[in-house]
Amino acid sequence: GNSVTQMEGPVTLSEEAFLTINCTYTATGYPSLFWYVQYPGEGLQLLLKATKADDKGSNKGFEATYRKETTSFHLEKGSVQVSDSAVYFCALSGTGNQFYFGTGTSLTVIP
């Protein structure tokens, strides 16, 4: 079956620190991979995506590379800001058009 496992939180970082949030997946076939973000008081929104192996998704300074060999899609940012404080969800979409989400990782960035 399809599933996503992501790093447990919460994560607290100082401003300008390096961020990694780990995500691994199990899927049949060749899924697309996504990171969604939920800012306080807002709905989930797409942060970045990658649709095939070795693709790199990027947006707002965040990056994630689709690694088929390690079934991973880790989220990284070189220098986090206070405004990046949010909950981050890794997700995949497979052949059945369903989207499967991880449990979310809460990030707090302190000045």
Partner 1 sequence: GAGVSQTPSNKVTEKGKYVELRCDPISGHTALYWYRQSLGQGPEFLIYFQGTGAADDSGLPNDRFFAVRPEGSVSTLKIQRTERGDSAVYLCASSLLAGRTGELFFGEGSRLTVL
Q: Which residues bind partner 1 (CB under 8 A)?
A: 4, 31-32, 34, 36, 42-46, 49, 51, 89, 91, 93-104
Least separation in angstroms between residue 103's CB and partner 1 is: 5
Closer residue to partner 1 (CB): 4 or 109: 4
Least separation in angstroms between residue 105's CB and partner 1 is: 10
Cβ atoms of 107 and 88 closer than 8 Å: yes
Closer residue to partner 1 (CB): 70 or 98: 98
| Residues facing 45 on adjacent strands | 37
| Residue 107 backbone phi and psi in degrees, to 5 | -115, 130
Cα(102)–Cα(4) distance, rounded to whole angstroms? 5
Least separation in angstroms between residue 39's CB and partner 1 is: 11
Closer residue to partner 1 (CB): 14 or 51: 51
Closer residue to partner 1 (CB): 17 or 93: 93
Least separation in angstroms between residue 1's CB and partner 1 is: 11
Residues 6+ apart with CB under 8 A from 59: 47, 48
Question: How many Å is the Cα radius of gyration of the chain?
Answer: 13
Cα(75)–Cα(7) distance, rounded to whole angstroms? 10
